[in-house]
Amino acid sequence: MAEARIVDTRERILDAGERLFMVHGYDGTSMRQITSEAAVNLAAVNYHFGSKESLMQEVFRRRLGWLNSERISLLNKLEAESEGKPLKPSQIVDAFFGTLLGIAADESRGGMTFLRLLGRTLTEPSEFIRAVLMDEYAEVLERYKQALFRALPDVPKAEIVWRFHFMLGATSYAIAGTDALRVITDWQIEAEDSTDRLDRLLPRLMSFLLGGLRAPLPQFESVTVDGK
Amino acid sequence: MAEARIVDTRERILDAGERLFMVHGYDGTSMRQITSEAAVNLAAVNYHFGSKESLMQEVFRRRLGWLNSERISLLNKLEAESEGKPLKPSQIVDAFFGTLLGIAADESRGGMTFLRLLGRTLTEPSEFIRAVLMDEYAEVLERYKQALFRALPDVPKAEIVWRFHFMLGATSYAIAGTDALRVITDWQIEAEDSTDRLDRLLPRLMSFLLGGLRAPLPQFESVTVDGK
DNA sequence: TTAAGATTCAAACGAACGTATGAATTGTTT
DNA sequence: AAACAATTCATACGTTCGTTTGAATCTTAA
């Protein structure tokens, strides 16, 4: 069976690349590491994907395609059910970030490995990676932005955009930095095993995000660094 | 004057490294790029710093030393003034994140360049970089964590730790990703010039962070993705 | 069974990497 | 001015990088 072999090789490369890019970053990962971990020949990456950059693109495309179409159809469903009335902010936030966090427990969608790769990549403004993310994300972000505008008609649009931005940051960091911060500090987050921690991350994060989204609007006059 | 020359060379290297590490990351930046931008000889980095890794360490140490001692003394001052009573959460958040954001407008402390480097580095779990950050950050994080515990005696400590974590993420992303997200989407955040945007970032972020910090506690039972 | 196509393989390519060296230059001290 | 130390410089070292190549192997189909 030729197809099985091809798929195996391609997917083994994608899996290895996903994991290694997550741990060491794009520039910190070599083709030899990838092909070695995937147990394929060095030339296989260039044969199947063309180049290292194309491999990175495919690593993202494989996961983001599903994630974002899921987000879109979830939003469509919510809006269909609401019959023209604005959605609740919590519904929107839940749909966007809940779908994302749901990947953590689903190894077939990339699991924590892909989530952490995505989290760290959002702060790496490498030119071609930004292009890939922009390509995959533009439509989804626009749809959710508009939904939030309708859900919060009294909040200035600029403020909503910023707070969406902050929510993305808190989330991406909550995922990507989970281990990093635990090492940076020696915080003992009580005795939660890792599945417990994961189960509880979503409600914890959601409370935080909604609290931030619905916070009182800032006052811009006479603001100083020391808060006086 | 020999000293002036030494300092010039060292600082030019540090400045160039800071900027290039911010743009391209550690692995994506070569010594030849750094020495070329700094207009010094290729061997100067190894002469003055010993290695590329040591240079990276020094780039952080140069800025984090001041930042964190500032944070500590600010907290000391606040606690001295409060005469044993717990601080207000907003004071603590202001002291920690306000000091950080204050760097943005202060070129002599690194400005936006260093802030964005710091932001993107927190999601890069490279071994030796983590060690540097841990070294510089451990004391400050512990002090502020304890202050938050006292300020919010009714909130479980694990919850506070998580929310501090989320706040760090929102902030780091707000800084590091400012341009990235503006490119990912084509959001027009009205007609604010960049200094206006910077002036308003702090109050905007602070409102969001405090809203998240003081949000209702999450309910862990029967939580589903769609929030029903 | 055999020809054609798809995939894997070992080996090599030039380029760029971080680092080291020893001579040349500059600055300081006597 | 001479001796000494500190710094800069051009150059080269050995490695590793991403990519390419052409032969070998495997799969599919006539």
Number of Cβ within 10 Å of residue B170's Cβ equals 29
CA-CA distance, B139 to B136, in Å (whole number)? 7
Homologous superfamily (CATH) for B60-213: Tetracycline Repressor, domain 2 (1.10.357.10)
Q: Which of A72-76, A189-193, B12-16, B34-38 has the lowest mean pLDDT?
A: A189-193
Close Cβ partners of B158 (under 8 Å, ≥ 6 residues apart): A189, A190, A192
Identify which of B124, B174, B220 has the shortest CB distance to residue A25. Answer: B124
Confidence of residue B6 (pLDDT cuts 50, 70, 90): low
* CATH fold label, A1-50: Arc Repressor Mutant, subunit A (1.10.10)
Answer whether B100's CB lies under 8 Å from B204's CB. Answer: no
The type of residue at A62 is: R
Answer whether A79's CB lies under 8 Å from A87's CB. Answer: yes
Residue B19 has pLDDT above 80, yes or no: yes
Taking all atoms of strand D, which protein residues have CB closer than 7 Å? A 1-3, 5, 29-33, 42-43, 45-46, 51-53; B 2, 5-6, 8-9, 40-44, 47-48
Residue B15 has pLDDT above 60, yes or no: yes
CA-CA distance, B1 to B23, in Å (whole number)? 34
Mean residue pLDDT across chain B: 86
Which residues on B lie below 8 Å from A187 (Cβ)?
Answer: 145, 161
CB within 8 Å: A173 and B133: no
Using alpha carbons, select from A107, A139, A168, A131 the residue that is nearest to residue A57: A131
Confidence of residue B84 (pLDDT cuts 50, 70, 90): confident
DSSP readout, A115-144? HHHHHHHTT---HHHHHHHHHHHHHHHHHH
A1's enclosing H/E stretch is: none
Query: Residues A83-90: what's their mean pLDDT?
Result: 93
Which residues on B lie below 8 Å from A180 (Cβ)?
Answer: 122-123, 125, 130
Which residues on A lie below 8 Å from B215 (Cβ)?
Answer: 207-208, 210-212
Would you say the C-beta of B24 is within 7 Å of strand C?
Answer: no
Q: Domain-by-domain residue ranges, chain A?
A: 1-50, 54-213
Identify which of A102, A120, A208 has the shortest CB distance to residue B166. Answer: A208
Identify which of B123, B174, B220 has the shortest CB distance to residue A120. Answer: B123
Class of the domain covering A54-213: mainly alpha
Reported as a single tens digit per residue, the pLDDT across B204-213 is 999 999 999 9
pLDDT at res. A193: 56
Size of interface A-B (CB pairs under 8 A): 243
